[in-house]
Amino acid sequence: MRIAESGAIVGGGASGLGAATARRLHAHGAHVVIADQNAERGTILADELGERATFVAADVTDPDAVQAAVDVARAHPVPLRIAVSCAGIGWAGRVVGRKGAHALETFETVIRVNLIGTFNVMRLAAAVMVENEPIDSGERGVCVNTASIAAFDGQIGQIAYSASKGAIASMTLPAARDLAPVGVRVCAIAPGTFDTPLLAALPEDAREELRRVVPFPSRFGHPDEFAALVQHIVENEMLNGEVIRLDGALRMPPR
Q: Is 161 a catalytic residue?
A: yes
Statement: 7-246 belongs to CATH 3.40.50.2000: no
Q: What is the pLDDT of residue 200?
A: 74
Q: What is the pLDDT of residue 148?
A: 97
Cα separation values, 115 from 6, 76, 179, Å: 26, 28, 19
pLDDT digits (tens, 9 = 90+) for 206-247: 778 888 899 999 999 999 999 999 999 999 999 999 999 999
**Which of 55, 119, 161, 226 is the catalytic position?**
161
Q: What is the pLDDT of residue 205?
A: 79
pLDDT digits (tens, 9 = 90+) for 96-147: 999 999 999 999 999 999 999 999 999 999 999 999 999 999 999 999 999 9
Give me the residue spans of the domains in the chain: 7-246
User: pTM here?
Assistant: 0.95
